[in-house]
Amino acid sequence: DPESGNVVGIGGDSLPLIVAPSAPVHVIEESYEFVDSLGHLHGLPAKDATLDLEFFEETRCIIHFQLMLLNAADARLSRERVLFQKFLQENRFKLMSNGINPPADIFKTSSHASIDIPLVATWLISLTREERQRFHALKAAFSVEMDRKDAIFVDPEFPPTFASLAGCTNEAEVVDWRVSTAINITAGLFDGGTDPDDVRFGRLNDGWFLSAVSILAASGGVDDGKVDPVIDNLFITKQTSLTGAYAIRLFKNSQWETVIVDDYFPVLSDSHKMDISAGAAFAHSRHFEELWVPLLEKAYAKYYGGYAALEQGFVHHALEALTGHTSEEIFLSQASRGAKKKTLWKQLLGNKSNRFLMGAGTITSDNADHEILDTGLVFGACYCIYDIREIDGHQLLKLRNPPGDHAEWRGDWGDDSPLWTRRLKKHLGVLANSNDNTFWMSFDDFCNAFRCLYVCKYYDPDKWTKLIRHGAFSIKSDSASGLPTRHNPDCTLENNPHYSLGVTRPTEVIITVTQVDKAGLAPVTVLPIAVYIVQGAMADR
């Protein structure tokens, strides 16, 4: 009421309500922030699309998880079915000895390949309580044994710990060890054959060893989808192991020795997970899709006591250990000097004809001539020698780049060289603009750019005939006459072990003598033995 200053209101019964003010009345003013409602409305479609995407991804994740759960359950049921079938097959007589007699027709077929599930269920229900307890006890013991056999193998002799890395140059970059399927879940032993491109260097300085592996990978063909025989010979375990245990052979002490390794490998930090190595620290294939390369490296490291031992070595020594055949290193600076150069070329042609494995090591950049410094060669590396040809007066070699991504030779007879004619390209199979990591080079440039030649005298079974004969020196049987000397004047050479070889045409023969002890192993102390090749009295052998 403006006159009395009272507050007048209307009550529920329409009577005036008068309230006397007991205190001053304060008017409170509130301010509101301006909201851009139009901008929010314009942003709603984008937010709605984001929510739809999140919902879609979450739904897909749930569906994927449910499918994985169903697949896992199905796999578990299949495994239990197979194990139960195997239990009944292998423990039939053990069950009978415990008073539990399975029905005679429990197996659907005579081969015991499948069982009659309803019949088994009916039979188990018919067992007494004690018989059922004995049955389940035997089944539980069998399951424990199967689980033990299926456990992932961890090598106790060469454990996946940093002790196996002690002394490596880049040891600090390794953060952990992981099983192969944790590096790449689809990793297998061989995937699409064995090729030089499968061999890739890691942080370990063992280029000499991996170069030898690369030469072996090129021995049986490239990109043919097949495992090269010389590499297949190294693996006793031919398939991807479910338990991670692999048996690999190395030729040491004049005999093949078996090395057992697991599939745990050193890895880098997770920031390298998307690299071409998939995070593997040492030797690997592309995205770690194949295991044969890191397994060979690990077997060699285990044999010598650690990965650090692989940081020093020679290519020809690795070739001999991986093939079991004699290998040599020829220094080109001496072998190509003067008249020897012609002999070297003939030797190269002979090696190619015999299908020997060959590689070549480049000189260091400090010793390289100025003309070849910028020609695409990788200095201090090993190249595979694919082919050797003499055509139209040209002496040419076909080489392959060392493992990794490198440029090709850009000198004479390189892919873009003007020396090529259409006829030569056709005869040598040179493809235009091919980026296959191979190139041709003249013999003169080869002798100038490369330091040494590696030759592994691998006797291809398709070309060579191998004959093994065993003999022994024995005083009791008078087969240790020795040689006629002043200290042994009465020796009879005919009593020594000897063999007759008939030669009907000019050919090449390689004779190798290996000493073994009574147990068939290479002896620790090698006794001096001489081999003499003499012509028979009739000059026919």
Q: Catalytic residue positions? A: 401
For the record, the structure tokens of 213 come out as 């592996």
DSSP state of 28: P
The radius of gyration computed from the CA coordinates of the chain, to the nearest angstrom, equals 39
Residue 225 burial (C-beta neighbours within 10 Å; 0-12, 13-18, 19+): exposed
Q: Decide if 466 contacts 459 (C-beta within 8 A).
A: yes
Q: Is 510 left (phi over 0), alpha (psi -120 to 50) or beta?
A: beta
SS3 178: strand
- Looking at residue 457, its amino acid is K
Beta bridge mates, 456? 327, 357
Instruction: Kindly report the three-state secondary structure assignment for every residue of 129-162.
Output: HHHHHHHHHHHHHHHHHHHHHHCCCCCCCCCCCH
Residue 423: partners with Cβ closer than 8 Å, 6 or more residues away: none
Give exposure, 90-108, as e/b (b: 16+ Cβ within 10 Å): ebbeebeeeebebeeebbe
